[in-house]
Amino acid sequence: MSEPRLGVAIVTMGNRPKDVDALLESVAKQDVPPTRVVIVGNGTELPDFPAYPGEVTAIALDENLGCPGGRNVALRRLREFGDVDVAVELDDDGLLVDPDVFRTVRRLFAEDPRLGVVGFRIADEHGETQRRHVPRLRAKDPMRRGLVTSFLGGGHAFSMEMLERTGDWPADFFFTHEETDLAWRALDDGWKVLYEPALLLQHPKTSPARHAVYYRMTARNRVWLARRRLPLLLVPLYLAVWTLLTLARTRSLGGLRAWAGGFVEGVRTPCGERRPMSWRTVWLMTRLGRPPLI
């Protein structure tokens, strides 16, 4: 791919207008301008966006479709334009500190036609990266670049060709584990997932447990993920490992109750299309340092 054209997708619930303005200012300062900028209001009306000097396509949704559902709307609009090769998705409270982020993204995709996903490094205003934001088991060094098996939802870039082949976000997940589902599909189709720490998205330090639905959806989506993407032999092993880890890590009795309810929901409810990865992909993920068990 030579000089791929970039499109930017941002999803907001309308409760961070100042953050969105700051993010758009940082997009405008990029030395490679995007072809398109699409902002989706997830169950909210959207204002004008004077912080961005170019044209912004604003889409206001009547209901909150969740993060993956809202992003699918943005991706569908970018696809309709027909002039975007790589989609850059950014959290609405993120900030691009460096002006050459899009230039680097464009170069990476131009150099490797099998590159499907590039994950950014997430760091707070002090430059600290939380352990959960490093997409590998050995997370001590957030500056270690390389091929991985997942990516960070806050800042990343997708090959639109890859999405055409593997499909968009799993909208039914609504919140949590949607990145893993998409990454596993990409790997199984022969695409690469790259963690590139030189691509920095500044983002406030947060805990996913701040969301009321965190424990329930974490459990439900984990079960759905296993049922959808893993070979049958690995499904009980994967869920057993994560059950033990959850019991060891969770200190809230209420959280454990919600988690148990979500687990049962994940077992009893439809999980969507089952398309398990090949054993070859299992081996690839194992070689990359994260077999699909943990």
Average pLDDT, integer, range 274-292: 97
Q: Do the bridges between strand 115-123 and strand 86-91 make them parallel or antiparallel, or are there none, so unpaired?
A: unpaired
Does the pLDDT value for residue 210 go beyond 70?
no
Domain enclosing residue 83, as ranges: 6-206
6-12 and 86-91 beta bridge pairing: parallel
Model confidence at 294, pLDDT cuts 50, 70, 90, reads confident
- 184 with 258, same domain: the answer is no
| Alpha carbon distance 189, 165 (integer Å) | 8
The answer on pLDDT for 3 being more than 70 is yes
Does 200 share its domain with 253?
A: no
Q: Are 218 and 259 in contact (CB under 8 A)?
A: yes
The CATH code of the domain that includes 78 is: 3.90.550.60
Shared domain for 267 and 138, answered yes or no, is no
Structural domain total, the chain: 2
Residue ranges with strand state E in 61-174: 86-91, 95-96, 115-123, 146-147, 155-159
Confidence at 113, pLDDT banded by 50, 70, 90: very high
Enumerate residues 6+ apart whose C-beta is below 8 A from 264.
none
Q: Name the percent of the chain lying above pLDDT 70.
A: 98
153, 186, 206 — which closes off a domain?
206
Would you call 57 exposed, middle or buried from its count of C-beta atoms within 10 A (0-12, 13-18, 19+)? Answer: middle
Residue 283: inside a domain, yes or no? no
CA 47 to chain centre: 25
Please compute the mean of the pLDDT values over residues 44-52 and round it to a whole number: 93
Q: Give the C-alpha distances (Å, rounded to integers) separating 75 from 87, 92, 127, 231, 270.
A: 7, 16, 30, 29, 25
Answer whether residue 147 is part of any domain. Answer: yes
Over residues 276-280, the mean pLDDT reads: 98
pLDDT tens per residue, range 129-164 = 998 899 998 888 999 999 999 999 999 999 999 999
pTM of the model: 0.95
